[in-house]
Amino acid sequence: MLAVRALLLSAALFVVAPLAAWLALAFGPDPVALQAAQPLRELERDYEGSASCEACHPAQHASWARTFHATMTQLPRGAAVLGKFDGQPVAFYGRSATPFERDGEFWMRLPDARGEREARVALCVGSNRYQQYFELAGAALGDTYVRLPLLWHVGEQRWMHLNGVFLEPDNPDWSVHASSWNDNCVFCHNTAPVPRLALSSEAVPSKSFDTTVAELGIACEACHGPGERHVARMASPVERYRAHLDDAPSSDIVHPAKVGQMESLAVCGQCHSQRLPEPLERITEFLEQGASFRPGSALAGHVRPITRDTPPIDAHNGRIFSDRFWRDGSARLSAYEYLGVTQSPCMQSSAFTCGSCHVMHSGDVHGNIEPDKRGDAACTQCHEDIARDPRAHTHHDPARSGSRCLECHMPRMVYGILDIHRSHRIEVPDPKRDIEAGRPNACTSCHLDRGAAWAAESMRAWWGERFAAPSSRPDGAPLELADSIASLHSGDAVLRAVYAKQLGRADAALGARQKAFAVSNLIVALGDGYPSIRGIARRSLRALDAELGLGLAAELEGFDVFSSVDERRTRLLALLKRAQQALRSRSDAARPETLLDANLALDLERVTQLLNLQSDHVISIGE
């Protein structure tokens, strides 16, 4: 009998084992289980993970998965790593590092006080404009992740040092931006992060972390809220059918378009707004348990957006917050979009929200925006009367950039990620307000050869006496100069960065020959004390060189914005000489407002006078 039982048991095992294998092959691995098993993941506190959403919402899951939100934070595996870890050394500030690959892992050989060390990449942050890398400096997964000094710039396809990407002067300290992921990047670049900061009991306490996230990157529940109750309810076919027939907002999941205006804005504003806990004393709670905000709520009561008037929290840096804003309170750094929108008349007098222009599940992933919303449709969806006769409103050719709503009402004047972006404070340009506040003006950002007085006269002729001429610039530069040139040479660091970008724009209100004056002035900006400004100026020069056919491509390609002061000066002077020769056959007659003489030579004496007007206040702002 025992022998028979043994034979039957063996037969049963023989049958069950192939059946289990067949089931695995037929249905594949469980995506929910696989996702939950990833490092740093903790599906507690009512969270389910995006894999649970895919079963019922495959189209939405697919459209989200193609966005840069989905790949904001990734483990360093295969195609997730964008940088070239090819073993080639890269040099910055007189020292070199080598990104390389070993046994399928990604490493950097870095200089340190003892010579050099090797750091293994444990996390990748970013996938659109550039990608940063973090090593695990703590003892275990979830402990301290520290930012490495090199990042990969996707557009330039090259390695860059963090010191040359953030808005700050040259700094040879390779470790100045070695911040931790756990109490910084984790909050906005992941879903439902819990830092779990722990301080030791020593007199000078050390800190450690046991950080977890519901999901790496910005996933479904970052915008729709914790999904456990919704998933459980939708397991019932009856509930699914009822939800299909009823378009009313669900009580167990958040639809950003079906909540109140402030609640809808908060979905994006939880990250697209630099903010502090409200009240500030909750900072310890946030660093231990994570932020208290959940989609469906307004930000008020959870966090308070930072403004120009926010009291500094660093006694050694009284301008830590005010430096991030123009003097009129408009943001001049990225990640303040929520503040800009809430300062706008459009939001204050209508149901305007982020979703009025941006979408997550369709459109261009670069900005998450429908193609038509990059143009006038973003505004004419509400301002239909203007759309019927644009020239009557703009006084510009309807086919040119001067009639584009965004160019006038959301100009590019915000620094971030080594580029200049649109302000999200929707407003009417005002030359006096803008120039006297030391900020860019929409008119002179397009009419690059014109001064502030001309802009004010034009506005007054069209719109009335309320548009007065500015009386002075904060930097003291002459008002009769082209505003773009005065700002490029005399403005503070952010203003210089903005006009380094604008002087290379293809859609300016000038023909190619009319904006040739920008070339020599931008070459001067290659000597700026801020490497990020030099990088933007070089990019604009490459664009102008291509547009004008100056033949400077090789010299510009060989100009390293991270090289020594002496090397930059030598190359800069050579470029100025070459540019003057090349411009003689490719430029219209020079105007004195642009600092070129009749021979198209740059008036270096006047340029030097303008450079000497630059403020001695150093702006140093990371991201």
> Which own/partner contact pairs does 33-39 have at CB distance under 8 Å and 24+ positions apart?
35/215, 38/75, 38/216, 39/75, 39/141
- Residue 36: is its pLDDT beyond 70? no
Instruction: Please write the tens of the pLDDT for every residue from 250-269.
Output: 889 999 999 999 999 999 99
* Sequence-ordered list of residues with C-beta below 8 angstroms from that of 583, at least 6 positions apart, any chain: 516, 519, 520, 548, 550, 600
C-alpha radius of gyration, the chain, whole number: 28
Beta-carbon count within 10 A of 103 CB:
5
What local confidence, expressed as pLDDT, does residue 225 receive? Answer: 96
* Sequence-ordered list of residues with C-beta below 8 angstroms from that of 198, at least 6 positions apart, any chain: 207, 208, 209, 210
Q: What is the mean pLDDT of residues 431-442?
A: 96
What local confidence, expressed as pLDDT, does residue 623 receive? Answer: 72
Comparing CA positions, the residue from 523, 500, 376 lying closest to residue 445 is 500
State the Cα–Cα distance between residues 390 and 380, nearest whole angstrom: 10
Average pLDDT, the chain: 91
Instruction: Please write the tens of the pLDDT for every residue from 501-556.
Output: 999 999 999 998 999 999 999 999 999 999 999 999 999 999 999 999 999 999 99
State the Cα–Cα distance between residues 306 and 203, nearest whole angstrom: 32
Name the pLDDT band for 33 (thresholds 50, 70, 90): low
Total residue count of the chain as it appears in this document: 623
For the entire predicted model, the pTM comes to 0.91
Concatenated DSSP letters of 526-581 = TT-SSHHHHHHHHHHHHHHHHHHT-S-HHHHHH--TTS-HHHHHHHHHHHHHHHHH
User: Taking a C-beta distance cutoff of 8 angstroms, is the pair 262, 292 a contact?
Assistant: no
Name the pLDDT band for 11 (thresholds 50, 70, 90): very low
Write the burial class of residue 461 (CB in 10 Å: 0-12 exposed, 13-18 middle, 19+ buried). Answer: exposed
Cα atoms in the Cβ-side hemisphere of radius 13 Å centred on 444: 33
The reply to whether omega before 111 is within 30° of 0 (cis) is no
State the Cα–Cα distance between residues 521 and 602, nearest whole angstrom: 8
Beta-carbon count within 10 A of 44 CB:
12
Comparing CA positions, the residue from 466, 467, 473 lying closest to residue 451 is 473
Q: What is the mean pLDDT of residues 141-156?
A: 96
Name the pLDDT band for 3 (thresholds 50, 70, 90): very low
User: Taking a C-beta distance cutoff of 8 angstroms, is the pair 190, 164 a contact?
Assistant: no
- Residue 25: is its pLDDT beyond 90? no
Tokens of 55: 């079963």
State the Cα–Cα distance between residues 499 and 484, nearest whole angstrom: 6
